[in-house]
């Protein structure tokens, strides 16, 4: 069910949600997380203003989705609907999906190809860069009505966003003087980002969308939390894909906001789980065997020590490279208690038919029905319900002590603490 369908304990029904809170971080510092960052509407508003509409590069599209002039895609910066369009000269433009006249969200199709955008309400028309081109009856009719003489089309274009494109990934920002996207990502993150995107044309396989009834930050936390991966996910545990003891790392950038969860699959999948780890992991089952082991085949196609990298790129992008299944997840925050996830799955141009099918088969691991994906969605929903409905008011982040940033151990919450260091600075908390 969608979060709006909640019957018992629906959002707004918990006394905790109505409490006047001081917005004062717990005195433990980063080893504790206050519940109100997940539930408070004022915090959410501040996040939209300072993070999604602030000094960040937000993912909006893959260039491969809009290959030809006139191609467009409906997308989002934070919760704000925008349009990404390719102009006749090949350049990519991003503008608000809001007619400059009366505010109608004029672009209704998820994607398509047009010569111009026309608002259906009064048929104001815009070019592929967002400039206002036509206003019907601009000079009135029979010398009556119409726009005043000082109305100039160039003053009434769509609100345009700053755009950066890196290896076919399109980012946008409401801030005009953003640093270059490479600097924003930082060297640590750029390395694994380039492994997926640099020098290869993507081939789009398609989309999944879901509402995840949880605060958007929980998705970042989940992928900066390798501890859960070794415990919650029976597929990872049983087939040795990510097990305490595998070669792995949780990498953070210098700012703490981005991350890469990386691991290298052992060669003998399923046999490299030692007895002492096995004992700690309840998800381990001796009887779990695949009838079709192709699901977990790994074709070594990248120049990387890692077979898996899951990148969290602040504030709204996940880059998934899980063996040979590739995709991005676009996080659209939807109020404090909800986010929309848009998944774009892809392979590469030039993949053989068998490689495409291999990626599609392996896709069963991820997404809202994936063997890993569905467990994450369930777990995050449980967290949101817990923090919203219980009188207890904070969570514990003590794994790995109070270290912040990159961690060689999977049994650490160091990268989450680094993210909240950054978050608190930006949010003034």
Q: How far is the CB of 350 from another protein (least distance, A)?
A: 16
Give the nearer residue to another protein in terms of CB position, either 288 or 408: 288
Which string of x and - marks every residue 226-245 that binds another protein (by CB under 8 A)? ------x-xx--x-------
Residue of 126, 184, 197, 208 interacting with another protein (CB under 8 A): 208
Separation CA 36–CA 24 (nearest Å): 10
- CB burial class (10 A; 0-12, 13-18, 19+) of residue 276? exposed
Helix, strand, or coil here: 31? helix
Q: Are 95 and 127 in contact (CB under 8 A)?
A: no
Pull the structure tokens for residue 173: 């920002």
Give the nearer residue to another protein in terms of CB position, either 77 or 232: 232
Pull the structure tokens for residue 378: 């369930």
Residue of 226, 315, 373, 400 interacting with another protein (CB under 8 A): 373
Separation CA 132–CA 125 (nearest Å): 6
304 is an interface residue for another protein by CB under 8 A = no
Residue of 377, 407, 412, 414 interacting with another protein (CB under 8 A): 377
Give the nearer residue to another protein in terms of CB position, either 381 or 424: 381
Separation CA 155–CA 101 (nearest Å): 11
Question: DSSP string spanning 138-201?
Answer: TT-BTTBSS--TT--GGGS-PPB-EEEEETTEEEEES-TTPPPHHHHH-HHHHHHHHHHHTT--
Give the nearer residue to another protein in terms of CB position, either 187 or 290: 290
Q: How far is the CB of 312 from another protein (least distance, A)?
A: 20
Q: Are 182 and 190 in contact (CB under 8 A)?
A: yes
108 is an interface residue for another protein by CB under 8 A = no
Stretch that binds another protein, among 54-62, 73-81, 280-288, 410-418 (CB under 8 A): 280-288
96 is an interface residue for another protein by CB under 8 A = no
Q: Name 293's Cβ contacts closer than 8 Å, sequence gap at least 6.
A: none
Give the nearer residue to another protein in terms of CB position, either 369 or 390: 369
429 is an interface residue for another protein by CB under 8 A = no
Residue of 87, 191, 371, 424 interacting with another protein (CB under 8 A): 371
Q: How far is the CB of 135 from another protein (least distance, A)?
A: 33
Stretch that binds another protein, among 173-181, 249-257, 361-369, 387-395 (CB under 8 A): 361-369
Separation CA 136–CA 210 (nearest Å): 39
Sign of CA dihedral 302, 305, 306, 310: negative
Residue 14: closest CA among 392, 384, 388, 393: 388
Q: Are 380 and 219 in contact (CB under 8 A)?
A: yes
Residue of 175, 290, 299, 411 interacting with another protein (CB under 8 A): 290
Give the nearer residue to another protein in terms of CB position, either 100 or 196: 196
Stretch that binds another protein, among 35-43, 56-64, 289-297, 389-397 (CB under 8 A): 289-297
Q: Are 278 and 272 in contact (CB under 8 A)?
A: no
Count of residues in the chain: 429
Give the nearer residue to another protein in terms of CB position, either 31 or 113: 113
Residue of 381, 394, 421, 424 interacting with another protein (CB under 8 A): 381
Give the nearer residue to another protein in terms of CB position, either 102 or 357: 357
- The residues binding another protein (CB under 8 A) are 1-2, 5-8, 110, 204-213, 232, 234-235, 238, 283, 285, 288, 290-292, 294-295, 340, 345, 356-357, 360-361, 363-364, 367-369, 371, 373-375, 377-379, 381-382
């Amino acid at each position: 069910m969608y979060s709006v369908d909640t019957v018992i304990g629906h959002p707004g029904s918990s006394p905790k949600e109505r409490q006047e809170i001081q917005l004062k971080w717990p005195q433990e510092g980063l080893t504790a997380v206050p519940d109100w960052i997940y539930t408070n509407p004022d915090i959410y508003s501040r996040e939209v203003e300072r993070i999604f509409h602030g000094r960040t590069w937000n993912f909006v599209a893959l260039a491969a989705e809009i290959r030809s002039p006139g191609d467009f895609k409906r997308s989002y910066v934070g919760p704000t609907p925008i349009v990404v369009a390719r102009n006749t000269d090949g350049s990519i433009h991003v503008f608000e999906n809001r007619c400059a006249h009366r505010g109608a969200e004029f672009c209704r199709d998820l994607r398509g190809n047009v010569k111009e955008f026309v608002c259906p309400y009064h048929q104001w028309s815009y070019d592929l860069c967002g400039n206002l081109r036509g206003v019907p009856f601009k000079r009135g009719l029979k010398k009556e009505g119409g726009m005043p003489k000082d109305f100039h089309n160039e003053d009434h274009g769509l609100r345009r966003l700053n755009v950066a494109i890196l290896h076919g990934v399109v980012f946008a920002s409401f801030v005009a003087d953003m640093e270059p996207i490479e600097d924003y990502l930082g060297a640590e993150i750029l390395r694994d980002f380039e492994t997926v995107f640099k020098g290869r044309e993507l081939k789009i396989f398609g989309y999944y969308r879901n509402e995840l009834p949880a605060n958007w930050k929980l998705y970042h936390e989940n992928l900066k939390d390798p501890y859960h991966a070794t415990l919650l996910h029976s597929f990872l545990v049983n087939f040795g894909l990510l097990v305490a003891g595998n070669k792995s790392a949780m990498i953070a950038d210098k700012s703490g906001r981005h991350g890469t969860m990386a691991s290298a699959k052992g060669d003998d999948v399923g046999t490299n789980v030692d007895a002492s780890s096995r004992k700690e992991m309840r998800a381990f089952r001796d009887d779990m065997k695949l009838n079709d082991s192709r699901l977990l085949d790994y074709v070594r196609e990248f120049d990387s020590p890692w077979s898996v990298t899951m990148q969290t790129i602040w504030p709204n992008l996940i880059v998934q490279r899980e063996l040979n299944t590739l995709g991005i997840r676009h996080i659209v925050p939807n109020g404090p208690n909800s986010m929309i996830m848009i998944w774009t799955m892809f392979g590469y141009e030039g993949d053989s038919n068998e490689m495409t099918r291999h990626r599609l088969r392996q896709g069963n691991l991820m997404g809202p029905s994936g063997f890993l994906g569905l467990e994450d969605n369930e777990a995050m929903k449980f967290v949101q319900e817990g923090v919203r409905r219980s009188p207890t008011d904070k969570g514990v982040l003590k794994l790995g002590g109070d270290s912040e940033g990159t961690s060689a151990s999977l049994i650490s919450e160091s990268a989450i603490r680094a993210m909240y260091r950054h978050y608190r600075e930006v949010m003034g908390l």
